Amino acid sequence: MHLKTAAVGCLVASTAFAQDAFDEIVSKKDTKPSKSYAPGVDHPAYTPFDESQLTSAVVVEQFQDESASQNWKPSNAKKDDEFSYVGKWAFEEPSVLPGFDGDKGMVMKSPAAHHAISRKLPQPLDNTDKTLVLQYEVKLQKGLECGGAYVKLLSENEELHAEEFSSANPYQVMFGPDKCGSTNKVHFIIRRKSPVDGTYEEKHLTMPPPARLNKLTNLYTLIIHPDQQYEIRVNGKVIKSGSLLREGVLNPPLNPPKEIVDDSDVKPADWVDDKEIPDPEHAEKPADWDEDAPMFIPDPDVEKPADWDEDTPDYIDDPEAEKPIDWDDEEDGEWVAPQVKNPECQDHGCGPWEAPLIKNPDYKGKWVQPKIPNPDYKGEWQPRKIANPNYYEDSTPSNLEPIGAIGLELWTMQSDILFDNFYLGHSVEEAEQFANATFVPKLKIETAEEEALAPPPTPKKDRKQYESALDFFRDDPLGYITEVYRVFILNFSINAKQAVIDQPIPAFFFGIAAVLVMGLMFGTLNVILYFMQKFASRQQQPTGKAPIKTAKDDADSTGKTTSSSKSSSAAKRRA
């Protein structure tokens, strides 16, 4: 594997105090992480790349000698008299899936901590009418659940040299992986200054590609060409590219709108924006319109069954029920026997008979005056637009302001994130040459290490090869459908909009399935809630009291005290 230019077609030192602080935060010699090599995997000694070959580079960092400890300065920035960045750094070899023997990198050592470190450039980088190339390696030795591994190219200014590096330092470009929760992306942000009012605005790549989250070394490359084309490469492959000038690539847009809404514009008083008006020819309700007619009426065609006995109650007092021994009429109220189904009504109906209801053919509901199109309708009013006083056209976003340093200002929950082999310069060919000599052979060793340590693979059934999708469907319809939706879900997780455009049929049926599943879930939930409510209502019904429609209740309407009212009265007396 080699990184080639043809991939485009594929789509000084610090103060004594700062140095002492660095020695506390960064261990230059004593840090030796435990490591073990898989049997049968060769780990040759690392030979540093000859940096003199990279004539277009402004910074090349391999972290192999003492100069790294002098070049990279951890931040001693404070907030409320406390250090803002307590995360520790170290120069050490990787302990997980190592590559070359003796190949060191710069490692974030502290979990759940803020880290900040920076390196000043030997001279400010001026990218006017030039290609910008930022390339570096990231190795997530303990994975990444929540944290960043991105890099900032800091703006050259007096504060950069007079103050400690922090999040307050302005930058020109931010690039690199970031992961937390469901968010997983490779940041690409440029800060642009408005020539009108002098304010800066961060322009984010609208649809950033996902970061690689394995424990191998991964190479991230950002290229900004002077023709305003950009490329994002991961491990040498172009995974995102396009024009910075294209609408929708950056958010907020690179250029503000030419016209804006006039806030002083007011809708005219005589503006008519009602599409419809009441029909003047039907201003009154028709004489035969009965608003009071019920929606349902008793079915006139149904007659009471001949054996229906309205004089016999459907429920009677349980003859086997007895008043509890500990029942106190004064305290608990009058005891009422529970009701049971009348055994005389097992074969026919009892109690008051009512005909079933049917829809009333004469029902019309409330009368509403009909509407007609408004002849005076002018459409929806919109305020006029005026020229944007803050409009400007940024046609050369690749012409960044001078860059004075590389900065890493990061929060991470996982420790042991390793950075290595930085290249910052103006030559794509040099960056590829550097990566071919360092990253490519390193990744080959790490991959062999990973394969040697991996458990034996589970035997899988050989997949049949088909000449066409139709042959696949005819031979294995279920397998074909499963494969189609597997590919759709994978593409949907990467770019939902494009997946729907590329695979409209799976998207349609997937949407229907999602609606059906949601409907089934809510329906099941409603059934569960219904039975829970029924169960709760039964539990709340007193054991020794009758249902609502009983002879006792009829007696209560004549003035007889019920058990509930007596119980309430007794409670008041006790109070």
Token pair 């391999």 in the structure block, residue: 62
Question: How would CATH label the architecture of 5-259+396-452?
Answer: Sandwich (2.60)
Structure tokens at 185: 């992306």
Segments of the chain scoring below 50 in pLDDT: 5-30, 540-575
Rounded-to-integer distance, Cα 419 and Cα 151, Å: 10
β-strand partners of 423: 60, 135
**E strand residue ranges, 525-568:** none
Task: Please enumerate in sequence order all residues whose Cβ is within 8 A of that of 221, keeping only pairs 6 or more positions apart, or say none.
Answer: 133, 134, 135, 231, 232, 233, 234, 236, 431, 435
Q: Can you give the pLDDT at residue 32?
A: 57
Query: At a CB cut-off of 8 Å and minimum separation 6, what does 138 contact?
Result: 149, 176, 177, 217, 218, 220, 417, 418, 419
> What values do phi and psi take at 442, rounded to 5?
-65, -45
Q: Is the dihedral of CA 15, 18, 24, 30 positive or negative?
A: negative
DSSP helix, strand, coil percent of the chain (3-state; round to 5): 25, 25, 50
Interhelix angle 439-453/428-437, rounded to 10 degrees, is 40
Choose among 164, 1, 160: nearest CA to 76: 164
Q: Which two tokens stand for residue 487?
A: 């590919």
C-alpha distance from residue 564 to each of 315, 347, 542, 556, 571 (Å): 21, 34, 10, 11, 10
Q: How far is CA 367 from each of CA 248, 280, 290, rounded to the nearest angstrom?
A: 51, 15, 9
d(CA 44, CA 442): 10
Domain ranges in the chain with CATH number 2.60.120.200: 5-259+396-452
What single letter denotes the amino acid at residue 480?
Y
pLDDT for position 569 = 41
Q: Is the dihedral of CA 22, 28, 29, 35 positive or negative?
A: positive
For residue 226, the Cα-to-chain-centroid distance in whole angstroms is: 34
